Chains A and B, each alone.
Chain A
Amino acid sequence: MRPLAFPAFLARRPLPAFLALLALLAPLAPLARAAAPQADVSTAPRAQVADAPRPAALETAPTANVAARDRELASWRELLELDLVAELLRVAAPRVEPGAPRAEDGEALALVARALHSTGAENAARRLLEREPKDPAGREAVLCARARLALERDELDAALHLLLPKGAEALRAEDAAPERLLLAGRALVRSGRGREAERFLRAFVARAPRDVEAPSALHMLAQTAIEARDLARASALRDEAQKSAEWQAFYRTRRLQARERPGEPLPRLGLAELWLAAGEFARARGELGELTALHPGFARGFGALARCERARGDLAAAKRAAQRALELDAALLEAHLELARVLLAEGDRGAAERAHARYVELGGKEPLERAR
């Protein structure tokens, strides 16, 4: 993408406007459109926050319970992110009824409240958020959900009061949960205080780069850069936002595909590929581990697993995966290439070159060693 450029009227308003035709300055760069199918990043629930705090009360619970709770909330979060609020309410609303297992879980309450609000049930959402979870993380989630409601009502001062009770200067970004950082940034931007929003948004993006709202935060940062007349930074942020939005669009699409056809390996392979492309190898490994367990005859799954294991530095696991892929499909190009690269990484250049030769013989075009 080419850099942004201000036309004359954005550089300064001509005075008097009608007396002169001002030449426009430099050409501006078009934004590349997201090429993803169903590229819809309009829903904006929080997800993929790497360091979201876990309710303290749950830390003492048996590990299995904690894992089950995390899985349950992750599935709710996904439903919210995919805009499947009716399904979310069907499964989640009974779980937060008084006396139900998640009745005091702040994050669960926040997710259900957001779903209720999106159905128009604003008062029900508000009532749910009147509960006060005992643990700090739960209270934080409820507070953020209350702030979201205030933002929905254009009550910007109320949202800021919730999020920044001692003012914007008093909040240390490193101490705040990512969601609070995002919402504080958003409330400030909507209030026309983009410059103050900047450090919160920057911190949010740094700590939650794969959050579904990361593209939004990056765009807001780009706009604050434009307001500051820093076009180089604005261009870089815009490009980053665009890449992030494309990744999110593909991520959304792959999850929809996977939900639609849970028995099909290809959508899950696509999900794993997205994590690989993002450098999130642990997430990719998790996805591929499940995929190869569910589909032990799916050669491409093992091929991708080999690539993932090599990226993680586990050459033995990578070699096993590549060999398994070739057992399943002796013509699988990717597995030949991976095997060659694993062998090279192990120091066996001769074997690596033989494996690569086989790969080329089958039509492969990639070099054994990537150009640096």
Chain B
Amino acid sequence: MRCLGASAIFVGLFAGACSRAEDAAPAPVSADGPGAPRAATDAGAQPAEDVVDEARERGLDYTNVSGGREKRTILEANGAGVALLDLGSDGDLDVVFAQGLDALARVLSGPGADLEVFENVGRGRFRRVAGPGLSGWWTGLATGDVDGDGDPDLVAAGYGALEVLLQDERGALVPRKGAAPLPAEPGARLEIGAARSKGTAPAWATSIALFDADRDGALDLYVGQYVDLDPLAPPLSALGEGALAVPCRWKGHAVFCGPAGLPAQPDRLLRGRGDGTFVDESAARLLEQRPGYTLAVLPFDADQDGDTDVFVANDSTANLLWINDGRGVFRDHAYEASVAYSADGRAQAGMGAATADVNRDGLPDFVVTNFSDEPTELYLGSPMGFARATYTSGLARETKRLLSWSPHLVDLDGDGWSELLQTNGHVYPQADEALSGTSYAQPITAWTFGADGRARARVARGPNSLFAPLATHGARGAAIGDVDGDGAPDVVVARLDGPCALGLNRLGRDAHRLEVRCEGPRAPRAPEANGPRTPRDGHGARVLVVVGSGAEEHALYGEAQTAQGYQSASSPALAFGLGAAERYASLRVLWPSGRVETLPGGPADRRLVVREGEGVVASTEFAR
């Protein structure tokens, strides 16, 4: 099925919608299993096309620590994020992991955890290097050039902490103390190992996102915050006291308490000054906020008006869709857009979110992962808001037994259609008890959609497949980027209480691909200049790649945002699968400044750097 030709796009960009074929046979689904998700290993197949976990072989020896195995508090269940960014400007992606502690009590006694940093020494081989020297319980990571010096920096969120780390000329991440303020409430900051009084909760940031809210060219920071949890008096078995205490149970099993029943912390929007420091302007910019239990933050241009909006996936409370007025002031329109609740009108436990143009109609679509017994939701951009495709795609039955975290919509096999990859894993170890309908450890899963829009599970091809069905751990954060330079997007996964995964993408070896990295202007902003400006690192740029001609002509859409998934930051480069096409016909960039540039076509299998006003400033062949 051909959705929307490129010519049509140039006449009415993003305006079309395409119908879906519904004639494909539904994929089989497991029945009577203990909740273990389906992903059968094709034992007879050659160890060929797959995403293969080579973390250990390639030196990525991060092991997550997230409290005790029994998970007595909610903090221990949420795990860590991961970030991919180029440290040292050597052109490849390095890896930073957040890290937790082995018990909640450790935040009082110390020592705290540092971020864990791995240098890509070439072609996706890594060596551990010194961390930045932080001390905390770290959760989410965000990447972007916050000081406008041309290299990416990092912001680390944690339980009672928020740190800006600027990259220096040697590629080291250097903390800039106090650059990102915490809330003013007493006890919001948690000093690991320091004395603390009972009755206060640290500001608990989960997913954070760097993006340019007010289009001034300086990145701003959305801080998703979760729930009040007093480390000195965490609720352990019940909420409330006396005769009206409510036991914390799930399917009859005693489990940790929260988030329901605990106070939600409001999200925050920090305006970037452009020098690596931020000021809290939440009250003026997030209008009429209803605090929810935020776990995921997804900046993207939801309404296609040229500025960046923000979708927020909330745990057990209604999701938010912050629509930007163009000046960085947001109002929530999730209910009107039909993305606040499930199709049945229930608040779901949103965990992660990701965006791409799944059906190739020129409009951004997005997915939201949820708790077990709730499906991963697929929302398709439509002429009026979003249309839910969760059930018509068959995704609901595929995902309902899973408790899912980081989703990514990425064209793994290079055929020009996005696939859904997601990490999974239950929060309750009690999920392994009889009759739970699910399991604690869950595999990483992926589905193709293709032209008919039906979700089909990607099957593991060997024991080292990233999608191997027999999981020993759950997973949380995940980031996408081409770490070995072959042009195919790879994935780095932070498992919970276990070793990380490095999924090297060996799918679609014959497919042609294109990687596009967008950059804003290098020249500093003139003091008298007004109007929107593209950030130096290209955040918010939207790219259309036109492929093929005649009946085969189609356009691929992508938006340069690093915050996708859960608590993680992916490569800023956009990866496009061109399928059999050896060339792309043209490339159009819609810059946040408002400038639109159309560039001529060129050969596939290249990594392009496109700078606003200068066109393609670098073009290198993939190292295949």
Show the binding face of A for B, using Cβ within 8 Å: 4-18, 20-24, 27-34, 37-42, 44, 83-87, 89, 118-124, 126, 152-156, 186, 189-192, 213, 215-220, 222-223, 226, 231, 234, 238, 241, 253, 256-257, 260-261, 264-267, 270
| Pair B247/A260 contact, Cβ less than 8 Å | yes
| Pair A154/B26 contact, Cβ less than 8 Å | yes
Q: How far is the CB of A63 from chain B (nearest CB, A)?
A: 33
| Pair B344/A18 contact, Cβ less than 8 Å | no
**Cβ-neighbour of A13 out of B15, B252, B287, B340 (below 8 A):** B15
| Pair B323/A24 contact, Cβ less than 8 Å | yes
A119 to B264, CA, bound (A): 30
**Cβ-neighbour of A21 out of B35, B326, B348, B363 (below 8 A):** B326
Residue of B326, B395, B401 ringed by the most chain A CB atoms within 10 A: B326
Q: How far is the CB of A365 from chain B (nearest CB, A)?
A: 24
| Pair A15/B12 contact, Cβ less than 8 Å | yes
A10 to B388, CA, bound (A): 15
Known A14-B305, A16-B14, A120-B32: A217·B251 in contact at CB below 8 Å: no
Could you list 5 A-B pairs, sorted by A, with CB under 8 Å? A11-B384, A18-B590, A216-B344, A216-B345, A219-B344
A31 to B290, CA, bound (A): 7
Question: Looking across the interface, which residue of chain B has its beta carbon closest to that of A32?
Answer: B290
* Chain A residue contacts of B7, Cβ below 8 A: none
Chain B, 263-291, CB within 8 A of any chain A CB: 264, 287-291
* Chain A residue contacts of B12, Cβ below 8 A: 15-16
Question: Looking across the interface, which residue of chain A has its beta carbon closest to that of B290?
Answer: A30
Determine whether B105 belongs to the interface, using a CB cutoff of 8 Å to chain A. no
A58 to B591, CA, bound (A): 71
Q: How far is the CB of A360 from chain B (nearest CB, A)?
A: 29
| Pair B437/A120 contact, Cβ less than 8 Å | yes
Question: Looking across the interface, which residue of chain B has its beta carbon closest to that of A265?
Answer: B243
The 4 closest A-B pairs by CB, nearest first: A219-B345, A9-B303, A17-B304, A122-B31
| Pair B374/A42 contact, Cβ less than 8 Å | yes
| Pair B15/A16 contact, Cβ less than 8 Å | yes
Known A84-B251, A257-B244: A18·B306 in contact at CB below 8 Å: yes
| Pair B252/A86 contact, Cβ less than 8 Å | yes
| Pair A86/B435 contact, Cβ less than 8 Å | yes
* Chain A residue contacts of B32, Cβ below 8 A: 120-124
| Pair A264/B243 contact, Cβ less than 8 Å | yes
**Cβ-neighbour of A8 out of B261, B303, B395, B437 (below 8 A):** B303
A216 to B388, CA, bound (A): 16
A281 to B124, CA, bound (A): 70
Known A27-B288, A267-B243: A10·B343 in contact at CB below 8 Å: no
* Chain B residue contacts of A265, Cβ below 8 A: 243
Known A17-B15, A119-B437, A154-B396: A41·B347 in contact at CB below 8 Å: yes
Q: How far is the CB of B288 from chain A (nearest CB, A)?
A: 5
| Pair A257/B245 contact, Cβ less than 8 Å | yes
| Pair A28/B333 contact, Cβ less than 8 Å | yes
Determine whether B596 belongs to the interface, using a CB cutoff of 8 Å to chain A. yes
| Pair A266/B337 contact, Cβ less than 8 Å | no
* Chain A residue contacts of B373, Cβ below 8 A: 42, 118
Q: How far is the CB of A76 from chain B (nearest CB, A)?
A: 14
**Cβ-neighbour of B260 out of A38, A189, A257 (below 8 A):** A38
Known A9-B385, A10-B336, A21-B305: A28·B331 in contact at CB below 8 Å: yes
| Pair A120/B34 contact, Cβ less than 8 Å | yes
Determine whether B149 belongs to the interface, using a CB cutoff of 8 Å to chain A. no
Known A219-B345, A238-B335: A38·B246 in contact at CB below 8 Å: yes
| Pair A13/B335 contact, Cβ less than 8 Å | no
| Pair A260/B26 contact, Cβ less than 8 Å | no
| Pair A154/B305 contact, Cβ less than 8 Å | no
| Pair A7/B318 contact, Cβ less than 8 Å | no
Determine whether B602 belongs to the interface, using a CB cutoff of 8 Å to chain A. no
**Cβ-neighbour of A261 out of B243, B318, B436 (below 8 A):** B243
Question: Looking across the interface, which residue of chain B has its beta carbon closest to that of A266?
Answer: B243
| Pair A267/B397 contact, Cβ less than 8 Å | no
| Pair A123/B252 contact, Cβ less than 8 Å | no
Q: How far is the CB of B91 from chain A (nearest CB, A)?
A: 30
* Chain B residue contacts of A155, Cβ below 8 A: 26
Q: How far is the CB of B545 from chain A (nearest CB, A)?
A: 16
Determine whether B394 belongs to the interface, using a CB cutoff of 8 Å to chain A. yes
| Pair B306/A17 contact, Cβ less than 8 Å | yes
| Pair B436/A119 contact, Cβ less than 8 Å | yes
* Chain A residue contacts of B239, Cβ below 8 A: 37-38
Q: How far is the CB of A185 from chain B (nearest CB, A)?
A: 10
Q: How far is the CB of A236 from chain B (nearest CB, A)?
A: 13
| Pair B14/A13 contact, Cβ less than 8 Å | yes
Residue of A6, A28, A120, A191 ringed by the most chain B CB atoms within 10 A: A120
**Cβ-neighbour of B336 out of A7, A16, A156 (below 8 A):** A7
**Cβ-neighbour of A12 out of B29, B290, B345, B383 (below 8 A):** B383
* Chain A residue contacts of B335, Cβ below 8 A: 4, 28, 31, 222, 226, 238
Given A12-B384, A216-B346, 4 additional A-B pairs, CB 8 A: A9-B323, A13-B363, A120-B401, A216-B344
| Pair B318/A33 contact, Cβ less than 8 Å | yes
* Chain A residue contacts of B194, Cβ below 8 A: none
A246 to B35, CA, bound (A): 31
* Chain A residue contacts of B382, Cβ below 8 A: 13
Determine whether B488 belongs to the interface, using a CB cutoff of 8 Å to chain A. no
A226 to B387, CA, bound (A): 12
Q: How far is the CB of A183 from chain B (nearest CB, A)?
A: 11
Chain B, 333-372, CB within 8 A of any chain A CB: 333, 335-338, 340-341, 343-349, 363, 371
| Pair A226/B336 contact, Cβ less than 8 Å | yes
* Chain A residue contacts of B61, Cβ below 8 A: none
* Chain A residue contacts of B261, Cβ below 8 A: 37-39
Q: How far is the CB of B285 from chain A (nearest CB, A)?
A: 14
